Amino acid sequence: MRILVCIKQVPDTTDVKINPETNTLIRDGVASIINPFDMYAIEEGVLLKERFGGEVVAITMGPPQAQEALREAISLGVDSVIHLSDRVFAGSDTWATSLILAEAIKKIGDFDLVICGKQASDGDTAQVGPGIATHINLPQATYVRRIDTIHLDTSPQIMVVERLLEEGYELLELQLPALITVVKDLNTPRLPSLRGKMAARKVEIPTWSNKELNISEDKIGLKGSPTQVVKIFTPPQKESGKIFEGDPEEATTKLVEEIKDIL
Amino acid sequence: MSGIKVILDKCVGCGLCLKVCPTQAITLEDKKAIIDLDACTLCGACIDSCKFQAIEIVRQTIVKDDISAYKGVWVFVEQRNGVISSVVFELLAKARELAKDLNTYVGAILLGYGITDKAGELIHRGADKVFVIDSQALQHYISENYTSAIAGLIGKYKPEVILAGATTTGRSLVSRIAVSIYAGLTADCTGLDIDKEKKILIQTRPAFGGNIMAQIICPNFRPQMATVRHKVMPESDNDPSRKGEIIKESFDVNNQDKRIKFLDFVKEAISTVNLAEADIIVSGGRGLGEAGNFKLIEELAESIGAAVGSSRACVDAGWIPYSHQVGQTGMTVCPKIYIACGISGQIQHLVGMQSSKIIIAINKDADAPIFKVANYGIVGDLFKVIPLLTKKLKESPKELANKD
């Protein structure tokens, strides 16, 4: 199986702090990590490779520092990586980002499965995975929590997945090649191996700019993005709450008194 | 050419922008901010941080087509087996407001099999026109088939705005539609308004798990599409005297995507009330100590008609299934009331629930971060507090369960 995994480098949320004076996000010295959901995508790719043989390729779009995420992916068992970086990609919204990733995937070619995390922890949109699937015209399953079966010896090749919904899950059968976005329940991501860490240090990371992808600049970056962010602001801080301490009997009575009208 | 630039006359070299840049693309040289365009992602964080309006993004825009031809505010009707999801009624209420400001009609898109008789309910709830496609091929939700059906309707009727619930279905569907028709889409909005001068939709949404809010517009593409978070907006009233038009369209089975098949839907037995729909959620954390103690949470939840949530720690420990996890790697919820029991309030949990209207925390540690976001709290032993609370809420004369 040839599996492509799309990952994103995001700021580590555990580090996110608000400057109380300016009420803005402090990003100074915030560590960058692989988007948490993408860790499950990488692990699933590596598990499938271990089961069926083949190769896992991780791709990311982002500024030069995003290469760190690709190195980490190598340390986790990914075979090769591709970095998409170009000034003309900057400012892309989910429409344009999914186009750039889709064009890269088409250029890589010859794959059986594309795996993405269900959403990124910074933007939280969950739009890029289905966007890629649409640009390439692949069948998709979002919020996959389990791959039940894969038949590579049938024609067409098929897989059955469990798609996690609000009130249960559904079973979908997809023809390969397909795209899935995954949730946490799928697996337990491994830690980097020593061999993986060595490989990550040595790996040469190819960077593709738009010269390689040759996408019309009318469709990417700020210009090609239908949406525009006009304002970013920090939500007003909550007033401090009413906290009761001491005797549980008394404290619960006071709490019930406070909340009985709002329940 | 689009891009970002520092207006050198206005830049005083204060360095505020350096601190907010997520990609460390800005440096100071000779007391002026310099932006490394290779590292910049044009995210705009520096622009909002600059007190001197010294940074601007120059945006070259393209106009896709004649946007004045687009009229109507549409709502995607999410339903399973003919039961319409409550988020649809929230969207219809919002759509009525937006349509009033835009001086246009409210449309509902109803897809499925044997669902035509639901059109009346949508009219009573606020739709002026219901576009119905009743086809066996649309019996089960399949993104590919729903996309081609709705893209066809959009091409024919040209709506100005399309709203869908920010649910697993809504998000998967409209992402595909937006890409296939080249339209702008904003995810998980908590606020929608019309800019009355420009007649465009202003979409407000949380990012970074609610740590920041962004306002997004889509001035040059139509329709303007948004998914909307559940439980943020009130539902529309049911007015059986409302009149509307039902427009029946058909689905061309040649457009059915044969590469994907719905096999089965399995309702998860453990959840009596689903998290996304719940007005009240009671969540348990590590403080419960062991799996068996989740019954305290379940009893409290049952007494007030609430859903059961959990922190990541309990899911990882195997005390409760993943579908109950609230937080960064679980679900984002925003119920009217969120009761956190034995949850310390790590940032990964807070980003999944801090938009809840009222937060109540029960924890033995007075310094736990959960109290910083709580409207009400009890510092104490949850094994004593929760049973007392359950008992007192049961005795409370008010009807506490979902009032619908």
pTM of the full predicted structure? 0.91
Q: B261 lies in a domain?
A: no
Q: Give the whole-angstrom CA distance, residue B401 versus residue B393.
A: 11
Residues A37, A117 contacting (CB under 8 angstroms) = yes
Answer yes or no: is pLDDT of B401 > 70: no
Looking at the structure, tell me whether residues B279 and B187 fall in a common domain: no
In a domain, B390, yes or no: yes
Taking CA atoms, B273 is separated from A116, A155, B27, B324, B332, in Å, by 29, 42, 52, 11, 16
Residue A241 · residue B371 · CB < 8 Å: yes
Q: What is the pLDDT of residue A170?
A: 95
What is the rounded average pLDDT of the residues B58-66? 75
pLDDT for the residue B272: 57
> What are the distances in angstroms from CA A174 to CA A54, A115, A116, A203, B259?
20, 13, 16, 34, 6
Helix (H) or strand (E) holding B278: none
Residues B186/B175, Cβ–Cβ less than 8 Å: no
- Distance of residue A160 Cα from the nearest chain B Cα, in angstroms: 9
Rg (CA), chain A: 22
pLDDT, residue B402, reads 45
DSSP string covering B136-152, please? GGGSS--HHHHHHHHHH
For an interface test with B, give the residue of A18, A43, A97, A127 to mutate (most B CBs within 10 A).
A127
Q: Which domain holds residue B29?
A: 3-58
Secondary structure, 3-state, A125-189: CCCHHHHHHHHHCCCEEEEEEEEEEEECCCCCCEEEEEEEECCEEEEEEEECCEEEEECHHHCCC
CB contact under 8 A, A255 and B389: yes
Does some domain include residue B77?
yes
B248 and B282 fall within a common domain: no
Shared domain for B281 and B228, answered yes or no, is: no
Check if A146 contacts B (Cβ < 8 Å).
no
Q: What is the pLDDT of residues A100-110, one digit of tens each?
A: 999 999 999 99
pLDDT tens sequence across B354-363: 889 899 999 9
CA angle B404, B270, A181 (to 5 degrees): 95
State the CATH number of the domain containing residue B51. Answer: 3.30.70.20
Task: Report the gap between the CA of A56 and the closest CA in chain B (Å).
Answer: 23
- Helix, strand, or coil (residue B386): helix
Q: How far, in Å, CA of B65 to CA of B58, rounded?
A: 22
Both B133 and B53 in one domain: the answer is no
Bridge partner residues of B262 (DSSP): A172
Residue of A nearest to B338 (CA): A263
CB B335 within 8 Å of CB B357: yes
pLDDT of residue B347: 83
Give the pLDDT mean for B222-227. 97
Rounded CA-CA distance A89/A63 in Å is 9
Q: What is the CATH number of the domain that holds B95?
A: 3.40.50.620
Asked if B360's CB is within 8 angstroms of A255's CB, the reply is yes
| pLDDT of res. B351 | 84
Report chain A's terminal Cα–Cα distance, integer Å.
53
B247 shares contact with chain A (CB less than 8 Å):
no
- B284 and B352 fall within a common domain: yes
Query: Residue B287: is its pLDDT beyond 90?
Result: yes
3-state secondary structure of B3: strand
* Structure token digits, residue B372: 């910083």
Split at pLDDT 50, 70, 90, the class of A220 is: very high
Q: Is residue B264 part of a domain?
A: no
Alpha-carbon gap, residue B69 to B226, rounded angstroms: 20
Q: Which two tokens stand for residue A157?
A: 């090749």
- In this structure, the answer to whether residues B89 and B187 fall within a common structural domain is yes
> Do residues B218 and B116 both lie within one domain?
yes
Give kind and range of the element (H or E) at residue B48: helix B45-49
Burial environment of residue B318 by CB neighbours within 10 A (0 to 12, 13 to 18, 19 or more): exposed
Alpha helices by DSSP H, chain A: 36-52, 67-75, 94-108, 128-136, 194-202, 210-213, 221-224, 248-259
Q: Whose structure tokens read 């001197």?
A: B52
Tell me, what's the ipTM?
0.92
Please say whether the beta carbons of A80 and A45 come within 8 A.
no
The pLDDT of residue B173 is above 70: yes
List the CATH code of the domain at A2-227: 3.40.50.620
The amino acid occupying position B23 is T
A184: which chain B residues are within 8 Å (Cβ-Cβ)? 322, 325, 329-330
What confidence score (pLDDT) does residue B59 get?
81
The residue type of B198 is K
Q: What is the CA radius of gyration of chain B?
A: 24
Closest alpha carbon to B80 in B114, B52, B104, B122: B114
Read off the pLDDT of residues A172-205 as tens digits, 9 standing for 90 and up.
999 999 999 999 999 999 999 999 999 999 999 9
Q: Report whether pLDDT(B376) > 50.
A: yes
Q: Kindly state whether residues B86 and B54 are assigned to the same domain.
A: no
Q: Are residues B120 and B202 in the same domain?
A: yes
Residue B318 lies in a domain: yes
The DSSP bridge partners found for residue B109 are B76, B131
pLDDT, chain B, mean: 91
* Mean pLDDT across B31-41: 91
pLDDT at B63 over 80: no
> Between chains, do A63 and B18 touch, taking CB under 8 Å as contact?
no
Smallest Cα–Cα separation from B74: which of B149, B113, B129? B129
Q: What is the pLDDT of residue B395?
A: 82
A249 touches chain B (CB under 8 A): yes
Asked whether residue B260 is assigned to any structural domain, the reply reads no
**Tens digits of residue pLDDT in B124-153:** 999 999 999 999 999 999 999 999 999 999
Residues of A in contact with B271 (CB under 8 A): 167
The DSSP 8-state label assigned to residue B203 in this structure reads E
Tell me whether B221 touches chain A (CB under 8 Å).
Answer: yes
Same structural domain, B44 and B157: no
Q: What is the pLDDT of residue B323?
A: 87
Please name the member of A64, A142, A221 whose beta carbon is closest to the beta carbon of B2. A221
- Tally of structural domains, chain B: 3
> How deeply is A204 buried, as exposed, middle or buried, from its count of CB atoms within 10 A (0-12, 13-18, 19+)?
exposed
List of residues 6+ apart from B269 with CB closer than 8 A? none
Residue B280 has pLDDT above 60, yes or no: yes
Please enumerate, as own/partner, the contacts of B59-65 that have beta carbons within 8 Å and a separation of 24 or more.
Answer: B59/A222, B59/A223, B59/A228, B59/B2, B60/A222, B60/A223, B60/B1, B60/B2, B61/A223, B61/B219, B61/B220, B62/A218, B62/A223, B62/A224, B62/B220, B63/B220, B64/B182, B64/B220, B64/B221, B64/B222, B65/B222
Is pLDDT at A19 greater than 70 in this prediction? Answer: no
Answer yes or no: is B132 within a domain. Answer: yes
User: Alpha carbon B76 to chain centroid distance?
Assistant: 14
CA distance linking residue B200 with residue B194, whole number of Å: 6
- Is the CB of residue B213 less than 8 Å away from at least one CB of chain A? yes
Task: Identify whether B400 is part of a domain.
Answer: no
Task: Judge whether A233 is closer than 8 Å to chain B, CB to CB.
Answer: yes
Which chain A residues are Cβ-neighbours of B188 within 8 angstroms?
124-125
CATH number at residue B283: 3.40.50.1220
Q: What pLDDT does residue B111 have?
A: 98
Q: Which residues pair with B214 in a beta bridge?
A: A232, B205
Q: What is the C-alpha separation between B363 and B342, in angstroms, rounded?
A: 5
